[in-house]
Structure 1
Amino acid sequence: MARIALKVDVDTLRGTREGVPKLLSMLAAAQAQATFLFSLGPDHTGWALRRVFRPGFLKKVSRTSVVSNYGLRTLMYGVLLPGPDIGRKGAAEMRAARAAGHECGIHTWDHVYWQDNVRERDAAWTRRQMQQAFARYTEIFGEAPATHGAAGWQMNEDAFRQIDDWGMAYASDGRGTAPYVPTIDGVPCRHVQMPTTLPTLDELIGTDDLTEDNVHTALLKLTEGTRDHVFTLHTELEGGKLAPVFERLLAGWRAQGHELVSMATWYRGLNRQGLPELPVTWGEIPGRSGELIVQPQG
């Protein structure tokens, strides 16, 4: 039986308070596990509007309804409205995910700030951002997080080293095809990277005649067979306007015979011996603007 690890990125306060409960209900109905990765500090979603000059950004947002997915208020956070503290205001919904039996972990402290800056920042900045998230997570859950999944699939070498220093056995910080051990300057890290292997809904909708009504069929074609996958979803999308699409995906994956699991369950089934050791690499992904962490091929 093939497995699909469901990795849930929680980017905003709205996604925490509204999207998480909705996804918990859908996952329970499908008897599916997932890993919820939380943004734990301020919601500065409005800062993302500065990406308007980034190549490919306008093309991407033109294919998706940004306002309906995120809400006008969320898009004003950090611009016309102060950014609310997600960890303070959404702690109950975060704990509800764990109470429902799902794995929880760190996404980021400040999503937009991390995504737009981490590639060029130094070790001190990187570790400060990550330690803030770690401390808030521990405050909310009363224990250290088991895993990490980077905001926007953006990292730097010091961020990978911090994951090792935390003692995490696995993380999902980039895109790729299969688990591997990342290397920095030729030295392997101690943790395994389990990259997102499938395209996200917002990368597909609006391309090749794909709409909210038929995009699930394109994804289901990619999961035919016995290969394991990691699928990243977002509480602001699949826990909002795209909930019907996700429900069709869950039913389709069940019909294909897949086991829907958390990253922890997926990791426990891995044989770490023989995993390839591959350098930290940047590259582009169809349907997404800019470069992100990708698994080297070949």
Structure 2
Amino acid sequence: MPKLTLKIDADTYRGTREGVPNLVRQLQRHKANATFLFSLGYDHTGWALKQIFRPGFFSKVSRTSVVEHYGIKTLMYGTLLPAPDIGKSCAQFMRAVRDAGFECGVHTWDHRVWQDNVRTADTQWTEETMQQAYGRFHDIFGVPPGTHGAAGWQMNDYAFSMLDQFGIAYSSDGRSQLNEDGSLADPDAGPYRLSAGGKTLSCVQLPTTLPTLDELLGRTIRGTPIDTSNVAALLLRLTAQPRDHVFTLHAELEGQKLAPIFEQLLAGWKAQGYELVSMGDYYQSVKDDVLPILPIAWGELPGRSGDMILQSM
């Protein structure tokens, strides 16, 4: 049975308090597993305004209704409103996810700060930031994190090496390359190990192989405008041919206003014969002794602005 891994990023204070519990209930109804990755420090979502000069930013904002999905209050955190400490104020919501039987891992300390700075950051900044997230996770859950998924699919050589130092066996820090219609550019895309700093790293990468909803909504693909009425059908066409996949969703989107679309996807993937699993479930099926070893690569994907970690071809 092919596996479809559900990787849930909780980027914000609101997403952790509202979207995460919604997703837990929805997954339980469908008897689906998933991995929740938490932002454990401050919510500086308002600092995203610095991106206004980045190519493609305005088109993405207009396509995905950022204000509608994130809310005005969230978009003011770190600017007109103080940034809430997610880990301190939402620890009970995170532990409730674990208590419901779902895998929990580290997304980042501060999503905005990590996404904007890590690519060019030095060793000290990277280690200190990751240690903050590692320590906060341990404070909340009483155990070290078992997995990781980088905010904005942004990393650097030091960050990848830190995963090995933390003893993290598997992580999902990047993406597989996609065609304009969302299909995989490389039919062999999937788990791999990285070569960084002159050595092969132990941590197995489980790249996201499908486009995200916010990358599809509002675009025109093969002459068809994509909106909330047909985006689920598009994704289900991309998974019609059975193979293992990793899908990234967001507590702020699928956990709130886009929940009806995720409902269609859960039902559709079950009908297609997929086992809906966590990252840990998927990793258990991966033969890591025969995985390709690939260099760190960067590039853009359709529907998303800026470079991110991509699986090299």
Secondary structure of the 1:289 match is strand
Secondary structure of the 2:125 match is helix
* 2:107–2:149 CA contact under 8 A, matched in 1: yes
Structure 1 Cα separation of the partners of residues 49 and 198 of structure 2: 37
Name the structure 2 match of 1:95: 95
Structure 2 Cα separation of the partners of residues 112 and 213 of structure 1: 31
Structure 2 Cα separation of the partners of residues 137 and 42 of structure 1: 14
**Pairing 1:78–2:94 present:** no
**Pairing 1:179–2:195 present:** no
Amino acid at match of 2:243: R
Name the structure 2 match of 1:121: 121
Name the structure 1 match of 2:39: 39
Name the structure 2 match of 1:27: 27
Distance apart, 1:186 and its partner CA: 4.0
Name the structure 1 match of 2:274: 258
Report how many residues are paired: 297
Secondary structure of the 2:305 match is coil
Secondary structure of the 2:107 match is strand
Name the structure 2 match of 1:244: 260
Change (3 A) 1:28 1:221: same
* 1:148–1:171 CA contact under 8 A, matched in 2: yes
Amino acid at match of 1:288: R
* 1:10–1:234 CA contact under 8 A, matched in 2: yes
* 2:298–2:308 CA contact under 8 A, matched in 1: yes
Distance apart, 1:36 and its partner CA: 0.3
Amino acid at match of 2:264: R
Deviations 1:236-269 (A, max 9, x none): 0000110000000000001101000000000001
Secondary structure of the 2:194 match is strand
Secondary structure of the 1:188 match is strand
Name the structure 2 match of 1:57: 57
**Structure with the bigger percentage of strand:** 2
Structure 2 Cα separation of the partners of residues 130 and 169 of structure 1: 16
TM-score (norm. length: structure 2): 0.94
Name the structure 2 match of 1:226: 242
Secondary structure of the 1:162 match is helix
Name the structure 2 match of 1:272: 288
Distance apart, 1:224 and its partner CA: 1.2
Name the structure 1 match of 2:297: 281
* 1:186–1:279 CA contact under 8 A, matched in 2: no
* 1:149–1:171 CA contact under 8 A, matched in 2: yes
Aligned equivalent of 1:205, options 212, 217, 231: 217
For structure 2, the residue ranges without an aligned partner over 5 or more in a row are 177-188
Structure 2 Cα separation of the partners of residues 39 and 185 of structure 1: 27
Structure 1 Cα separation of the partners of residues 171 and 101 of structure 2: 19
* 2:43–2:85 CA contact under 8 A, matched in 1: yes
Deviations 1:148-185 (A, max 9, x none): 00000000000000000001110000001300001014
* 1:279–1:296 CA contact under 8 A, matched in 2: yes
For structure 1, the residue ranges without an aligned partner over 5 or more in a row are none
Name the structure 2 match of 1:191: 203
Structure 2 Cα separation of the partners of residues 227 and 256 of structure 1: 11
Q: CA RMSD in A?
A: 0.7
* 2:157–2:197 CA contact under 8 A, matched in 1: no
Distance apart, 1:68 and its partner CA: 1.0
Seq. identity, %: 61
Structure 1 Cα separation of the partners of residues 197 and 106 of structure 2: 26
